[in-house]
DNA sequence: ATACTGATTGCACACGTGTGCAATCGCAAC
DNA sequence: GTTGCGATTGCACACGTGTGCAATCAGTAT
C-alpha cells in the first residue's frame, strides 16, 4: 500500500512485506524462504526466490543488524589516511574483513587523542562489532569513556604504554633496532648514532633500547651524544623528513660514521642534507631507516632499512578481532621485522 | 526487565526504554528529551539527560537509521588502498564527510569490475546514503545491476567512457598534458616522446590528445614512434614502474630528448633505467611525470611533474554528494592540475 | 461555573527483519 | 473414527528509535 512494487512494475525498494503481498503469503514465510529455512515448502521457496529476484529485492542490512544485535561491521581508526604505513595496515584489515563478510568503517584521528576518542564513540554509536586502532594515543585519561564502550578493541602499534587491557598487535621494535644496528656493526662501524623522535613514546624508547643493547653486547661504550632524541616540544608541526634534514648535522658533529634513523622519512631527510652538503652516502656516512616505505626503494642510494610487515599486521589484527567476535579468546601478537639491505650502508672509510 | 540497568548499577547497554523505566516516564518522552524537542517539560528534560549520562547511554544509530530511512553513511570504493593517489582522495572525502557527521565505509575493488560491482551492492545492502567510486571501471555490462541500486553515485576519475549518468569529478587531463608538454617545449625540446599506458583507457587517451595538441599547435610533426602506448595485453601484472623501466629504451631509440610519462611511477622507472645506463637526467634526457606522488620529490633528480589536486578531488566529490543528499541538483566538476617544475627537466644539450 | 487554550505526556504505530509458538492441514497408525 | 505426527504457515512480538494523535492537566478568559 505504501509504494507500488508490483512484479513487473517500477523497480523500487522492495521489502519482504512487498514480496509477501505479491506472493500471497506472510512476511515470515518470505523471510524463511530467503534464508533457506527448512520450515518452508520447497515449491513456495522457489516461487518466492524467483519473485524476489524479479522485484529486485536487496535485503536491508540495517534492519537485520538491529534484530540480530550485530552489525557485521568493524571500525578502523588511523592517525592519518595518507601515511603509506597505515594504508598497508588498512589493506590487510580490508582483506580479512572482506573475506569474512564484514564491512569496514574508516576514519582519521590526525594524531589527536580527543579526536581518536570521538571517532571510537561514533563507531560505537553505529554499533560496529569491533574497533581496530592503529597507533593509538589513548591514555588513562580516557579510561572512563572507554569503559562505556562495550566493544572489543584491538590496537596496532600502540603509541602509549598505558591501557594494557586492549589486545595488541605489535612489531618487535627491539628486535628491529637490533637488526639495523647489528648490520652496521657487522659491516664494520663502531661509532654508530641514533636519530630518534620523542613524540613516538613507546616505539622510540624500544628502538633506542635495541640500539643500546647491541652496542653494549659488542662491548662498545657509546658516546651519549651519538643518541639524539628530538624532544616532542621541538617537533611541533614539522614533518619527519624535516627533522631528519635539520638534525643530522648534530650527529655528524659528534663524529659518527653511521646513523640508525627512527624511520625512513627521517632517513630520507638526512639523505637530502648529505646531498646538499656533498657528503657521500654510503662512502662517508651510512644510513639505515625503518619501515621500508615505498620511497626507500627509489631514493638514491636506495635505503637499507628494517621492513615492518605492515599488511600482515593489519591481517593479524583483523584475525584477532574475528576470534573475539566468535567469543574465542583473543591474544596479543608480536610480529618480526626483516632487514632489507640496499645501498645506503657500506664499511666505514677507515 | 531484560537486563539490569539501574542508575548506579552495572553499566550495560542502556536503551531509551531503560532510561524511561528509571525515570518513570514513557520512552517517547525520553526520545523527545534527548532530541531537545519543545514537547517536553524543561525540568524533566534535565532530569532525563542527567540520567542518560549517568547510565552511560549511547544512542543506537542502527535503530535510528532504520526509522529515519537514512543511515548517515557513505561508501567509498577505491581500486587500491595502498595507492597514495587514492589515499589522498580518501582523506579529502573523510574530511568533508566527517564535518557533515557522516561515517565512511571503505573497500578496495582491486581494479576488478566484478568486485567493484559487488562492493557497491554490499554498500547498498547496508543502506549507505551515497557511493563514491574512484577510478571506476564499470561498463555498460553492469547497467542492469546498477539500476537496482537507488543510491546517488559520484565518480572520481572514471576510467571508462561509459555510464555518463553518474555525476563525475574529474581532472582536466588534456590541460595537464598540455602543461607538461608545453613546459618541455618552452625549455627548448622539439623531439618529445610520450610513454602511455593502454590499461588506462580514458585518461591515457586524453593525455595523449593533449600531447599531440601542443605539438600540432607548435607546428611540429611528431614522429609516430615518439608516442608509445603500452597495450593492456602486454602490461598484465606488471607494476607501472616496471613498465617505465623496460619501455624507455624504445623511446630513446626513436631519438627523443624528452619524455612525458603517463605518471610518476612510470617516470621513476624510466629514471632507474637512465641511472643504470649512465644517461644523465636532465643533461641528456628530460623527464616529466604526472600526479606528484610523494616519491617524486625524493628521487634524484626530483621529478618535474603535473600535480593532481587529489585531496581536493575527494573533497569536491563529497561536496557534490552532500548536494545530492540534500536534494539539491548535483553537478559535474573538472579540476585544474598544476605544473610542478623540479630538476628532471632542462634545455636539450644542443 | 464553563469553555477554551496551551503545555505536557502516553499510546500506538512505523521502519525491515527474524523467530518462538500456536494453528492448520494432510496423512498414517491404532 | 480417533489420535498422533510431521509439514507448513501465520500470528505476534522483538530489536531501538521517532512521531502523529489523543488524552490529561492546569490556567485563564468569559
At A64-83, the pLDDT tens digits run 999 999 999 999 999 999 98
pLDDT band at B350 (very low <50, low <70, confident <90, very high): low
Strand D bases contacted by the protein (CB, 7 Å): 7-12, 14-21
Tell me: the pLDDT tens digits for B191-231? 999 999 998 989 999 999 999 999 999 999 989 999 999 99
pLDDT tens digits for range B114-132: 999 999 999 999 999 999 9
Q: What is the pLDDT of residue A9?
A: 40
Residues on chain A touching B91 (C-beta within 8 angstroms): 80-82, 108
CB-proximal positions of chain C, under 7 Å: 7-12, 14-21
Task: Give the model's pLDDT for residue A12.
Answer: 53
* Whole-number Å distance between alpha carbons of B339 and B316: 21
Q: Which residue of B has its CA nearest to A67?
A: B63
In the predicted model, is pLDDT for residue A5 greater than 80? no
Q: Which of B87, B107, B268 shows the shortest C-beta gap to A298?
A: B268
- What is the share, in percent, of chain B residues with pLDDT greater than 70? 96
Between CA B111 and CA B93 the distance in angstroms is 20
Task: For residue B168, report the phi and psi dihedrals to the nearest 5 degrees.
Answer: -130, 140
* Mutate: best of A85, A298, A308, partner B, most B CBs <10 A: A298
pLDDT band at A350 (very low <50, low <70, confident <90, very high): low
The reported pLDDT for the residue numbered A33 is 96
Q: What does the pLDDT read at residue A163?
A: 66
> pLDDT category, B8, cuts 50, 70, 90?
very low
CA-based radius of gyration for chain A: 27
Sheet holding B192-197, edge to edge: B227-230, B192-197, B258-261, B286-288
- Contacting residues of A for B81, CB less than 8 Å apart: 87, 90-91, 94
DSSP assignment letter at A225: G
CB atoms within 10 A of CB A13: 17
- Name B104's bridge partners: B74
Return the closest nucleotide (C1') to the Cα of B44.
C8
For an interface test with B, the pick among A13, A16, A54, A61 (most B C-beta atoms closer than 10 Å) comes out as: A61
Higher pLDDT: A231 or B135? It is A231
Give the residue from A260, A246, A248 showing the smallest Cα distance to A192.
A260
| pLDDT at residue A84, as a whole number | 87
Q: Which of residues 18-77 of B touch strand D (CB under 7 A)?
A: 27-28, 31-32, 34-35, 39, 59-60, 63-64, 66-68
Q: What does the pLDDT read at residue B164?
A: 66
- Which tens digit of pLDDT belongs to each residue from B254-266? 999 999 999 999 9
Kindly report, residue by residue over A29-64, the tens digit of the pLDDT: 999 999 999 999 999 999 999 999 999 999 999 999
User: What CA–CA distance (Å, rounded) separates B334 from B172?
Assistant: 6
Query: Does pLDDT of B84 surpass 90?
Result: no
- Model confidence at B150, pLDDT cuts 50, 70, 90, reads confident
| pLDDT at residue number A11 | 44
Looking up cell 589536486 gives B309
Grid cell of A254 as nine digits: 659528534
Q: What's the half-sphere exposure (Cβ side, CA atoms, 13 Å) at A233?
A: 0
Is A148's pLDDT higher than 90? no
Q: Which three cell numbers stand for residue B284?
A: 641528456
Return the number of CB contacts < 8 Å for A and B: 129
Contacts of A300 in chain B (CB under 8 A): 275, 299-300
H, E, C per residue of chain B: CCCCCCCCCCCCCCCHHHHHHHHCCCHHHHHHHHCCCCCCCHHHHHHHHHHHHHCCCCCCHHHHHHHHCCCCEEEEEECCCCCHHHHHHHHHHHHHHHHCCCEEEEEECCCCHHHHHHHHHHHHHCCCCEEEEECCCCCHHHHHHHHCCCCCEEEECCCCCCCCCCEEEEECHHHHHHHHHHHHHHHCCCCEEEEEECCCHHHHHHHHHHHHHHHHHCCCCCCHHHEEEECHHHHCCCCHHHHHHHHHHHHHHCCCCEEEECCHHHHHHHHHHHHHHCCCCCCCCEEECCECCHHHHHCCCCCEEEECCHHHHHHHHHHHHHHHHCCCCCCCEEECCEEECCCCCCCCCC
Q: How is residue A171 annotated by DSSP? A: E
Contact across the interface for A66 and B66, Cβ inside 8 Å: yes
Q: How far apart are CA A139 and CA B16, in angstroms?
A: 30
Kindly state the helix (H) or strand (E) to which residue A263 belongs, with its residue range.
none
At residue A8 the predicted structure's pLDDT band, cuts being 50, 70 and 90, is very low
- The minimum CA-CA distance between B266 and chain A, rounded to whole Å, is 12
Q: What percent of chain A has pLDDT over 90?
A: 84
> Where does the pLDDT of residue B141 fall: very low under 50, low under 70, confident under 90, or very high at 90 and above?
confident
CB-CB: which of A56, A103, A300 is closest to B122? A103
Give yes or no for residue A158 having a pLDDT over 90: no
Burial of B99 (0-12, 13-18, 19+ CB in 10 A): exposed
- The tens digit of pLDDT for each residue in B46-77 reads 999 999 999 999 999 999 999 999 999 999 99
- Say how far apart CA A342 and CA A301 lie, in whole Å: 8
- C1'-nearest nucleotide to the CA of B64: D17
Q: Is the pLDDT of residue A233 over 80?
A: yes
Distance of CA B128 to the CA centre of its chain: 18
Distances (CA, A) of A58 to A6, A63, A64, B142, B145: 15, 12, 12, 16, 11
When the pLDDT of each residue in chain B is averaged and rounded to a whole number, the result is 93
The pLDDT value recorded for residue B161 is: 76
Instruction: Please report the pLDDT score of residue B11 as a whole number.
Output: 44
B3 touches strand D (CB under 7 A): no
Q: CA A311, CA A88: separation in Å to the nearest integer? A: 5
Q: Is the pLDDT of residue B278 over 80?
A: yes
Q: Which nucleotide is nearest to A39 (CA to C1')?
A: D8
Taking the CA of residue B41 and the C1' sugar atom of nucleotide D27, their distance in angstroms comes to 16
Which pairs count as long-range contacts for B236-244, CB under 8 Å and 24+ apart, including other chains? Answer: B239/B265, B240/B197, B240/B265, B240/B266, B240/B269, B241/B265, B241/B266, B241/B268, B241/B269, B241/B272, B242/B269, B243/B195, B243/B197, B243/B269, B244/B195, B244/B268, B244/B269, B244/B270, B244/B271, B244/B272, B244/B273
Residue B163 has pLDDT above 90, yes or no: no
Beta-carbon separation of A300 and B275 below 8 A? yes
Is residue A296 exposed (0-12), middle (13-18) or buried (19+ Cβ within 10 Å)? buried
Distance of residue A119 Cα from the nearest chain B Cα, in angstroms: 9
Amino acid at each position: 500500500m505504501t509504494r507500488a512494487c508490483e512484479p513487473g512494475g517500477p523497480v523500487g525498494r522492495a521489502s519482504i512485506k512487498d514480496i509477501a503481498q505479491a506472493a500471497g503469503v506472510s512476511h515470515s514465510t518470505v523471510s524463511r524462504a530467503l534464508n533457506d529455512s527448512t520450515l518452508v515448502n520447497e515449491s513456495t521457496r522457489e516461487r518466492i526466490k524467483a519473485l524476489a529476484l524479479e522485484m529486485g529485492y536487496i535485503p536491508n542490512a540495517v534492519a537485520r543488524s538491529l534484530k540480530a544485535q550485530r552489525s557485521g561491521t568493524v571500525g578502523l581508526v588511523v592517525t592519518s589516511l595518507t601515511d603509506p604505513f597505515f594504508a598497508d595496515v588498512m589493506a590487510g584489515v580490508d582483506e580479512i574483513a572482506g573475506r569474512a563478510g564484514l564491512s569496514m568503517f574508516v576514519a582519521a584521528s590526525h594524531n589527536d587523542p580527543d579526536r581518536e576518542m570521538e571517532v571510537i564513540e561514533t563507531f560505537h554509536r553505529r554499533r560496529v562489532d569491533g574497533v581496530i586502532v592503529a597507533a593509538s594515543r589513548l591514555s588513562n585519561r580516557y579510561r572512563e569513556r572507554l569503559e562505556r564502550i562495550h566493544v572489543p578493541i584491538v590496537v596496532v602499534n600502540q603509541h602509549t604504554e598505558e591501557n594494557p587491557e586492549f589486545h595488541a598487535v605489535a612489531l618487535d621494535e627491539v628486535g628491529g633496532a637490533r637488526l639495523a644496528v647489528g648490520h652496521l656493526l657487522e659491516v664494520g662501524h663502531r661509532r654508530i648514532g641514533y636519530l630518534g623522535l620523542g613524540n613516538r613514546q613507546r616505539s622510540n624508547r624500544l628502538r633506542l633500547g635495541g640500539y643500546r643493547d647491541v652496542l653494549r653486547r659488542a662491548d662498545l661504550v657509546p658516546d651519549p651524544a651519538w643518541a639524539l632524541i628530538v624532544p616532542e616540544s621541538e617537533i611541533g608541526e614539522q614533518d619527519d623528513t624535516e627533522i631528519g634534514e635539520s638534525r643530522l648535522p648534530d650527529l655528524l658533529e659528534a663524529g659518527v660514521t653511521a646513523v640508525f634513523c627512527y624511520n625512513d622519512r627521517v632517513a630520507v631527510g638526512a639523505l637530502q642534507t648529505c646531498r646538499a652538503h656533498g657528503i657521500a652516502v654510503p662512502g662517508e656516512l651510512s644510513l639505515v631507516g625503518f619501515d621500508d616505505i615505498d620511497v626507500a626503494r627509489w631514493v638514491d642510494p636506495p635505503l637499507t632499512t628494517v621492513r615492518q610487515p605492515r599488511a600482515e599486521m593489519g591481517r593479524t589484527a583483523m584475525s584477532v578481532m574475528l576470534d573475539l567476535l566468535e567469543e574465542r579468546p583473543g591474544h596479543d601478537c608480536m610480529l618480526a621485522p626483516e632487514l632489507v639491505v640496499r645501498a645506503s650502508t657500506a664499511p666505514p672509510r677507515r
